[in-house]
Chain A
Amino acid sequence: MSKVVYEKSRGLTDNPLSYCPGCAHGIIHKIVADTLTSLDVLERTIAIAPVGCSVMAYEFYNCDGIQAGHGRAPAVATGVKRTNPDKIVFTYQGDGDLAAIGAAEIVHAAHRGENITVIFVNNAIYGMTGGQMAPTTLIDMKTSTSPKGRAEAGTGKPLLVSEMLAQIPSVAYIERVSIHDVPNINKTKKAVKKAFQNQIDGKGFSMVEILSTCPIGWNKTPSASLKFIETNMVPYFPLGVFADSPAKEVAE
């Protein structure tokens, strides 16, 4: 008798992923999908896809899905969750979407304490549009719009989104994790699960920032990209829990 030790998540459709080879979106999709099935909420979940590499995420998650305008996913999620408070609503957003054009929407979804889950994939670059500089691009990192490397003068230092949002009084849970090796993938699984469990428990705004890769945009091999997270991303974007509040009154 053979035993199944690994299988595709029921939380994912059979649609082929649209991501570049070596991109870590696949790992994160699998973690989110597994979480939705293990918490038994897949059938009542609505996924909100952003604009960016994961613009077609609604094609991959095996649940209802809505494609949102660039940066607007937290506002769209607010509209869905407030009118369907018994459903599970999550946004899946990249750093250009969440930290630049959608900065107002994420700040105010957090500010209102919306009872939603935000999966924030930070790979320090605009991937889909061809590797432009993001608010999270590291200093000296070369991108197509910072060809000599990001300089602090004129573009500032990389935005620390988790630290920033953790200052907002109404947030429930904010943690930064990474997927650069197996122990960290396991920590990511735990964080994602907690962020969804919080929503089930009505605790309010929960966000997991996941440090991820962009081998094409970074001009690195997939394995060198994972190493780059460890050696360059983690020192600037420290991993850990930035907010973890006890149960609170949640908007319904």
Chain B
Amino acid sequence: MKILMKGNEAICDAAIKAGCRAFFGYPITPQNEIPEYMAAKLADSGGVFVQAESEVAAINMVYGAAAAGVRVMTSSSSPGIALKQEGVSYLVGADLPCVIVSVSRSGPGLGGILPAQSDYFQATRGGGNGDYYLPVYAPFSIQEAMNLVVKAFDVADEYRTPVMVLLDGMLGQMMEPCMLPEIKASNYDNSWAANGNSGKRPRNTITSLNLKGEGLEAMNIRRFKTYDTIKEKEIMVDNRVQDGDEVAIVAYGTPARIALNAIEMLKEQGIKAGLVRPVTLWPFPYDTFQNLTSSVKRVVVCELSMGQMIDDVKIGLAGKLPVSFYGRTGGMIFEPEEVAAYVKSCI
């Protein structure tokens, strides 16, 4: 049965159903419903909720719970995610799984609390030190957010990596009818965890420290081989471009829905356009852009930023087609009419 749920709360229900046993967070708008909901619901289902003293502490609590082999989640928003980057780098370095929900607002600095997508680089390139990436999922509906949160836990455990689910503030705040996804029994291995069972097995240690150059290089190369597998198996893209479309509009998250409306408007004006919606922002669906149907003559990237994902689109296209950009920033959200008018002006 479908129920009407707010994005931030739906995420929590999905996480709990996926087996999340612990949540550590810190208040920041526009994601406060997540820790609030977890404070009530997770504790009721026998899990652990702690409101940390800072985002830095919260992500390090996540590190501790993950090191002890527990399914764990945190959430935050742009300046808070910035503070968490130290811990994210340590989680990667120690090969620890966790789910990080980022409900992005506008920046830089304290910026504003209105929705934005100016943290694409923050999500996909990170700010922590070292050679690393993490899978980033960008849902465009609350149902998809729920499904991807469940998937994020599985991917985190399978590849022993932090996974981010990136929402713009709109998706976190709006309500939609949705259903709790079916959960398949996940049998993930956590025999590596440092949870004090050393009487039954050799002792386990969790660390990102490796003072020998050869050792650290080997660890990094091994991690990038895992990244190759993730790129091979986990890329998700919603490509709605059809033969005959002359423009491909690229957008992710809520702006993809605005783009769909714009595409309908363009159709009425005799302009054929189709949507490419990357669902994984890392790994990015580069191949999709090499394999766009031959009728496409131009690519238009629409983001709620000054242009960040456009860099990945350009890498994917490798000069094959002209690329234009339409964006609003600072929390301003484009209307379908604006997008349609811009696309029209490009042709």
Contact = CB atoms under 8 A, between A and B. Distances in A.
Nearest to A108: B53
A84 B61 CA distance: 13
B124 interface: no
A104 B54 contact: yes
A83 interface: yes
Interface residues of B, number: 39
Interface in B177-231: 194-199, 203-209
A174 interface: no
Contact of A82 (B50, B196, B208): B50
Interface stretch (A1-9, A52-60, A131-139, A223-231): A52-60
A111 B228 CA distance: 44
Interface residues of A, number: 38
Nearest to B86: A69
A198 B28 CA distance: 35
A87 B69 CA distance: 13
B24 A79 contact: yes
B113 interface: no
B48 A83 contact: yes
A45 interface: yes
A79 B53 contact: no
A83 B68 contact: yes
Interface stretch (A21-29, A70-78, A140-148, A240-248): A70-78
A185 to B, nearest CB: 27
A84 B209 contact: no
A69 B57 CA distance: 10
Interface in B82-99: 86-87, 90, 94
B196 A67 contact: no
A75 B68 contact: no
14 contacts: A55-B209, A66-B67, A66-B207, A67-B205, A72-B56, A75-B63, A77-B64, A80-B194, A82-B50, A84-B70, A87-B195, A104-B54, A108-B53, A112-B50
Given A65-B206, A81-B64, A108-B53, 5 more contacts: A65-B203, A68-B63, A72-B63, A80-B64, A83-B70
